[in-house]
Amino acid sequence: MFFSFSKTKNWKELMFLAITGILFPVIFVSAANLSDMEEMCANEGWKTACNEISESECQNLLNQCQTYFDAKKKEVEADLTKTTAEKNTLKNQISTLTKKIKDLDYQIYQSNLSIKSLGFQIVDTEESITETEKEILSQKEKIGLILQAVATEDKKSFIEVLIASKTISDFFDNLVYLETLNVKNQELLDHFQKLQTTLEGQKINLEEDKGEKESLLELQSVQKQESAVTKATKDQLYTLTEAQYQAQLKEKEAIAKKTAEIAAKMIQMTGLAEDQKAPTFGEALDLAKEVANSIGIRPAFLLAIISQESAIGRNVGQCYVTNASTGAGKYSNGKLVSRIMHLTRDLPVFLDIINKSGRVMEKTPVSCWINDCVSQYAGKLYHCKAYVSDTGAISCAKSGYVAYGFGGAMGPAQFIPSTWKLYEEKVKTQTGKSVADPWNLKDAFTAAGLYLKALGGGAQSGEYKAASKYYGGSSSYASSVSTRAWCINEYITKGSMSDYCQGLIF
């Protein structure tokens, strides 16, 4: 049994079949009807269709299109693998680029679907926030009325209440009334606090969803840029003869060797502990695959975090703790600074880690304190610039402001000591080592992987929020990680990386 639709087929009829599941399963196995899927998904017919159906029906359609694109991408990736294994001729190279462009198109289409889905979530959350705020206002009014009634009764003296009561029974009824008001008021206050917690959670979710939407838009921009470059390369190849193409390959050797160049590219490390050596990108990628697969997260996501945190170890810190009593130290240029390690939260743990790993404190790099001063008013922080004197003393640009935050993050994954302590035993269990060392590449990758998994990064759909939480709640950080993960995954699956991605990663 199959269905056949012309391009002028009524949208509502097509939508009914798609949403009820009649059309899509058949199309997945019937090549004759692929044009209908192309019309609905690849040609973004869903944009028109979603204007004529309910939100839930539209969401169902988007989910089915996502499934369609997943299948199409796997087909293209299989074709890409087959083509690149064939003889390197001009014809095959053009075919490879054509398939790569198609793959990028599918990724862009999927981004559009995800952006649309997030749009639904954002609207739903905004409506929930509005309803919660209305309920909070209603609760405030009820609490106010009860407090007013209690206050009125409290103003009356014992004699007044007794005189006003016609009988002893009336007197005790009045006491019961007051007690009931107090109980009811406590119930309202409890409910009010729960509503406030709910509202705060809804606002956090809203900001995360908006941030993820912006991240997808930025990633889509990178995908479009990549597609445009690939199309330009393909167009340029059309102007060559086979002989010219082979001569170009021989002269530049860039296309044939690009994978090897990236894999062998050295990461020049700065701010390293003395016992560390620079890994190649290939070594870092192999380690990410080993660790991520054993933990249950995507290797590209894990390596993207390490890339964002320390450029895969290129910068694990430019400061050194030199005072074991105060956590003060110096910058790599020798300038003193009094604020590196948090005195009570992190310094004792840091010293314990240094001792266990056999490192020398004064020669072990950690992250520097970000020069920042703050003043708090009405629950909000206001920032101003901080200055460090030659003696390491800190002063703020504005009066009434105080120094804020600390440095002290350790190793390629940039864990602060107190957080590392939470994962120290888990890292030892995972690696089978007796000592967990935050400056050791495998230990750092393992700690980051375990932490990301705990933050919800085990599923690709949860990676954005996990990345944001990894940095303490930053949409710009999570957005950068998402783009880096895409670049790394392109290399993992296709063996190539654009100049833009290379500039970002290296």
pLDDT at residue 274, rounded to an integer: 58
Neighbours of 453 (CB within 10 A): 18
CA distances from 167 to 161, 172, 181, 184 (A): 11, 9, 21, 26
Over residues 71-110, the pLDDT tens digits come to 888 887 777 766 666 667 888 888 888 888 888 888 888 8
Contact 158, 175 (CB under 8 A): no
pLDDT above 70 for 123: yes
Mean pLDDT for the chain overall: 81
Over residues 475-497, the pLDDT tens digits come to 889 999 999 999 999 899 888 88
Ramachandran angles phi, psi of 434, nearest 5°: -85, -20
CA distance 251 to 238: 18
pLDDT at residue 347, rounded to an integer: 97
HSE-up of residue 290 (Cα within 13 Å, Cβ side): 14
Of the candidate ranges 158-172, 244-258, 349-363, the one whose mean pLDDT is the lowest:
158-172
Over residues 182-223, the pLDDT tens digits come to 777 677 778 778 888 887 888 777 777 877 888 888 888 888
CA distances from 397 to 384, 400, 401 (A): 6, 10, 8
CA distances from 494 to 260, 334, 451 (A): 13, 45, 28
pLDDT at residue 405, rounded to an integer: 92
Closest CA to 279 of 324, 231, 316: 316
Of the candidate ranges 9-13, 224-228, 328-332, the one whose mean pLDDT is the lowest:
9-13
pLDDT at residue 25, rounded to an integer: 46
* Structural domains of the chain ordered from first start: 264-315+411-506 (1.10.530.10), 318-408 (no CATH)
pLDDT at residue 407, rounded to an integer: 95
Closest CA to 118 of 219, 21, 26, 195: 219
Residue listed under structure tokens 């002989």: 243
CB within 8 A of 202, min separation 6: which ones?
A: 125, 128, 129, 132
CB within 8 A of 216, min separation 6: which ones?
A: 111, 114, 115, 118, 482
pLDDT at residue 106, rounded to an integer: 84
Over residues 417-460, the pLDDT tens digits come to 999 999 999 999 999 999 999 999 999 999 999 999 999 999 99
pLDDT above 70 for 270: no
Over residues 403-419, the pLDDT tens digits come to 999 999 999 999 999 99
pLDDT above 90 for 368: yes
Helix 254-264 to helix 281-295 angle, to the nearest 10 degrees?
70
pLDDT above 90 for 164: no
pLDDT above 50 for 27: no
CB within 8 A of 376, min separation 6: which ones?
A: 382
Residue 500 or residue 378, greater confidence: 500
Dihedral angle of Cα 152, 155, 158, 160, to the nearest 10 degrees: -70
- The pair of structure tokens assigned to 267 is 């990461």
pLDDT at residue 356, rounded to an integer: 94
Residues in a beta bridge with 319: 331, 366
- Coil, strand, or helix at residue 498? coil
pLDDT band at residue 286 using 50, 70 and 90 as cut-offs: very high
